[in-house]
Chains A and B, each alone.
Chain A
Amino acid sequence: MHIIDRRPDPGGKSLANRQRFMRRARALVKQAVREASGSRKIREIDGGGAVTIPADGVHEPSFHAGRDGGMRDYVLPGNKKFVSGDRIERPKQGGGSGSQGSADGEGEDNFRFVLSREEFLDLFLEDLELPNLAKRQVMGDAIERRHPAGFKTSGPPSSLSVGRTMRRSLSRRVALKRPNPRELEAMRRELAELEADADDHTRIAALKAEIERQERRAKVIPFIDPVDLRYRRIEVTPEPIARAAMFCLMDVSASMDEHMKDLAKRFFSLLYLFLTRRYKQVEIVFIRHTHEAKEVDEETFFHSRESGGTVISSALIEMAKIAKARYPADQWNIYAAQASDGDNLSSDNARSLAILRETILPMAQYYAYLQVGRGDYDREDGVFARQETTLWRAYQELIRPNLPMAMRKVNDRRDIYPVFRELFERRDEAAEAR
Chain B
Amino acid sequence: MARAKTTPPVAAPTTAKREPLFTGRDWDFNLLDRVYGAIQEIAETELKLDTYPNQIEVISSEQMLDAYASTGMPLFYKHWSFGKHFVRNETLYRKGWQGLAYEIVINSSPCIVYVMEENSATMQTLVLAHAAFGHNHFFKNNYCFKQWTDATSILDYLSFAKKFVASCEDRYGQESVEQILDAAHALMSHGVHRYPGKHALDLKSEQRRLEERQAFAEKHFSDLWRTLPKTASRKKRDGEDERRRQMLGLPEENILYFLEKNAPRLAPWQRELIRIVRQIAQYFYPQRQTKVMNEGCATFSHYRLMTRLHESGQITDGSFMEFLHSHTSVVFQPEYDDPRYSGINPYALGFAMMEDIERIAIAPTPEDRAFFPDFAGCGDGYGVLRDAWENFRDESFILQFLSPNVIRKQKLFRLVDDSEDDEIVVASIHDERGYKAVRQSLSRQFDVGRQDPDIQVADVDLAGDRKLILHHNVVDGITLDGKDAAKVLHHLANLWGYDVKLLEIEDGETVAAHDGSPSRAFR
B51-73 residues at the A interface, CB under 8 angstroms: 53-60, 62-63, 65-66, 69-70
Query: Cβ of A71: which chain B residues have Cβ within 8 Å of it?
Result: 416-419, 476-478
Interface check B32, CB cutoff 8 A: yes
A48-81 residues at the B interface, CB under 8 angstroms: 50, 58-80
In the bound complex, do residue B455 and residue A63 qualify as a contact, i.e. CB atoms below 8 Å apart? yes
Interface check A22, CB cutoff 8 A: yes
Q: How far is the CA of A59 from the CA of B487 in the complex (A)?
A: 10
Interface check A113, CB cutoff 8 A: yes
Query: Cβ of B278: which chain A residues have Cβ within 8 Å of it?
Result: none
B63 touches which of A9, A59, A62, A73 (Cβ 8 Å) = A9
A5-37 residues at the B interface, CB under 8 angstroms: 5-7, 9, 11-14, 16-25
Q: How far is the CA of A111 from the CA of B85 in the complex (A)?
A: 10
In the bound complex, do residue B414 and residue A21 qualify as a contact, i.e. CB atoms below 8 Å apart? no
Complex interface: stretch among A83-91, A134-142, A185-193, A278-286 = A83-91
Interface check B378, CB cutoff 8 A: no
In the bound complex, do residue A66 and residue B419 qualify as a contact, i.e. CB atoms below 8 Å apart? no
Query: Cβ of A89: which chain B residues have Cβ within 8 Å of it?
Result: 423-424
Query: Cβ of B271: which chain A residues have Cβ within 8 Å of it?
Result: none
In the bound complex, do residue A64 and residue B480 qualify as a contact, i.e. CB atoms below 8 Å apart? yes
Q: How far is the CA of A17 from the CA of B89 in the complex (A)?
A: 13
In the bound complex, do residue B426 and residue A87 qualify as a contact, i.e. CB atoms below 8 Å apart? yes
In the bound complex, do residue A63 and residue B480 qualify as a contact, i.e. CB atoms below 8 Å apart? yes
Q: How far is the CA of A60 from the CA of B178 in the complex (A)?
A: 13
Q: How far is the CA of A18 from the CA of B431 in the complex (A)?
A: 52
Within the complex, what minimum Cβ distance (angstroms) separates A73 from chain B? 5
In the bound complex, do residue A17 and residue B79 qualify as a contact, i.e. CB atoms below 8 Å apart? yes
Query: When A1-B53, A1-B55, A3-B33 are in contact, do A79 and B411 touch as well, CB less than 8 Å?
Result: yes
Within the complex, what minimum Cβ distance (angstroms) separates B441 from chain A? 5
B441 touches which of A6, A60, A74, A102 (Cβ 8 Å) = A74
Interface check B517, CB cutoff 8 A: no
- Interface size, chain B (Cβ < 8 Å): 99
In the bound complex, do residue A72 and residue B66 qualify as a contact, i.e. CB atoms below 8 Å apart? no
Closest to A50 in B: B91
Interface check A99, CB cutoff 8 A: yes
Interface check B509, CB cutoff 8 A: no
Query: When A1-B55, A4-B58, A70-B479 are in contact, do A88 and B487 touch as well, CB less than 8 Å?
Result: no
Query: Cβ of B342: which chain A residues have Cβ within 8 Å of it?
Result: 102
Query: Cβ of B60: which chain A residues have Cβ within 8 Å of it?
Result: 7, 11
Interface check A82, CB cutoff 8 A: yes
B478 touches which of A17, A61, A72, A114 (Cβ 8 Å) = A72
Query: When A6-B63, A73-B414 are in contact, do A64 and B80 touch as well, CB less than 8 Å?
Result: no
In the bound complex, do residue B58 and residue A7 qualify as a contact, i.e. CB atoms below 8 Å apart? yes
In the bound complex, do residue A87 and residue B29 qualify as a contact, i.e. CB atoms below 8 Å apart? no
Q: How far is the CA of A87 from the CA of B63 in the complex (A)?
A: 50
Query: Cβ of A102: which chain B residues have Cβ within 8 Å of it?
Result: 342
Closest to A18 in B: B83
In the bound complex, do residue B338 and residue A78 qualify as a contact, i.e. CB atoms below 8 Å apart? yes
Q: How far is the CA of A6 from the CA of B484 in the complex (A)?
A: 40
**0/1 string, B406-435, CB within 8 A of A gives 1:** 000011111111110011111111110110
Q: Which of A19, A58, A73, A87 has the most CB of B within 10 A?
A: A73
In the bound complex, do residue A14 and residue B66 qualify as a contact, i.e. CB atoms below 8 Å apart? yes
Interface check A97, CB cutoff 8 A: yes
Closest to B54 in A: A1
Within the complex, what minimum Cβ distance (angstroms) separates A154 from chain B? 14
**0/1 string, B378-418, CB within 8 A of A gives 1:** 00000000000000000000000000000000111111111
Interface check B333, CB cutoff 8 A: yes
In the bound complex, do residue B80 and residue A88 qualify as a contact, i.e. CB atoms below 8 Å apart? no
Query: Cβ of A19: which chain B residues have Cβ within 8 Å of it?
Result: 83
Within the complex, what minimum Cβ distance (angstroms) separates A118 from chain B? 14
Interface check A434, CB cutoff 8 A: no
Q: How far is the CA of A42 from the CA of B388 in the complex (A)?
A: 64
Interface check A303, CB cutoff 8 A: no
Interface check B327, CB cutoff 8 A: no
Interface check A92, CB cutoff 8 A: no
Q: How far is the CA of A291 from the CA of B342 in the complex (A)?
A: 63
Query: When A23-B80, A73-B415 are in contact, do A62 and B189 touch as well, CB less than 8 Å?
Result: yes
A90 touches which of B174, B185, B422 (Cβ 8 Å) = B422
In the bound complex, do residue A113 and residue B80 qualify as a contact, i.e. CB atoms below 8 Å apart? no
Q: How far is the CA of A282 from the CA of B464 in the complex (A)?
A: 72
Interface check A324, CB cutoff 8 A: no
A93-128 residues at the B interface, CB under 8 angstroms: 97, 99, 102-103, 111-114
Interface check A182, CB cutoff 8 A: no
Within the complex, what minimum Cβ distance (angstroms) separates A57 from chain B? 11
Query: Cβ of A114: which chain B residues have Cβ within 8 Å of it?
Result: 87, 90-91, 94
In the bound complex, do residue B478 and residue A3 qualify as a contact, i.e. CB atoms below 8 Å apart? no
In the bound complex, do residue A21 and residue B480 qualify as a contact, i.e. CB atoms below 8 Å apart? no
Query: Cβ of A23: which chain B residues have Cβ within 8 Å of it?
Result: 80
Query: When A7-B59, A20-B78 are in contact, do A62 and B484 touch as well, CB less than 8 Å?
Result: yes
A73 touches which of B90, B186, B416 (Cβ 8 Å) = B416
Query: When A1-B36, A79-B430, A97-B337 are in contact, do A69 and B86 touch as well, CB less than 8 Å?
Result: no
B488 touches which of A21, A61, A74, A88 (Cβ 8 Å) = A61
Query: Cβ of A77: which chain B residues have Cβ within 8 Å of it?
Result: 333, 335-336, 344, 410-412
**0/1 string, A273-303, CB within 8 A of B gives 1:** 0000000000000000000000000000000
Within the complex, what minimum Cβ distance (angstroms) separates B349 from chain A? 9
Within the complex, what minimum Cβ distance (angstroms) separates A74 from chain B? 6
Q: How far is the CA of A76 from the CA of B60 in the complex (A)?
A: 38
In the bound complex, do residue B335 and residue A21 qualify as a contact, i.e. CB atoms below 8 Å apart? no
Q: How far is the CA of A87 from the CA of B359 in the complex (A)?
A: 36
Q: How far is the CA of A330 from the CA of B418 in the complex (A)?
A: 82
Closest to A111 in B: B88
Within the complex, what minimum Cβ distance (angstroms) separates B515 from chain A? 15
Query: Cβ of A67: which chain B residues have Cβ within 8 Å of it?
Result: 481
B159-194 residues at the A interface, CB under 8 angstroms: 174, 178, 182, 185-190
**A-contacting residues of B (Cβ < 8 Å)?**
29, 32-33, 36, 40, 53-60, 62-63, 65-66, 69-70, 78-84, 86-88, 90-91, 94, 110, 114, 117, 132, 174, 178, 182, 185-190, 333-338, 341-344, 410-419, 422-431, 433-434, 438, 441-442, 444-445, 452-453, 455, 472, 474, 476-482, 484-485, 487-488, 491
Pairs across A and B, CB under 8 Å, 20 listed: A2-B54, A2-B110, A3-B58, A6-B57, A17-B80, A20-B79, A21-B81, A61-B186, A64-B481, A65-B478, A66-B479, A70-B474, A70-B479, A72-B418, A74-B415, A79-B411, A83-B426, A83-B429, A86-B425, A87-B425
**B-contacting residues of A (Cβ < 8 Å)?**
1-7, 9, 11-14, 16-25, 50, 58-80, 82-90, 97, 99, 102-103, 111-114
Q: A1-B36, A73-B415, A79-B413 given; name 15 further pairs at CB < 8 Å.
A: A3-B57, A14-B70, A58-B80, A63-B485, A70-B478, A72-B415, A73-B441, A75-B442, A78-B335, A79-B429, A82-B429, A83-B431, A90-B417, A114-B90, A114-B94
Closest 5 CB pairs of A and B: A78-B335, A21-B83, A70-B477, A70-B478, A17-B83
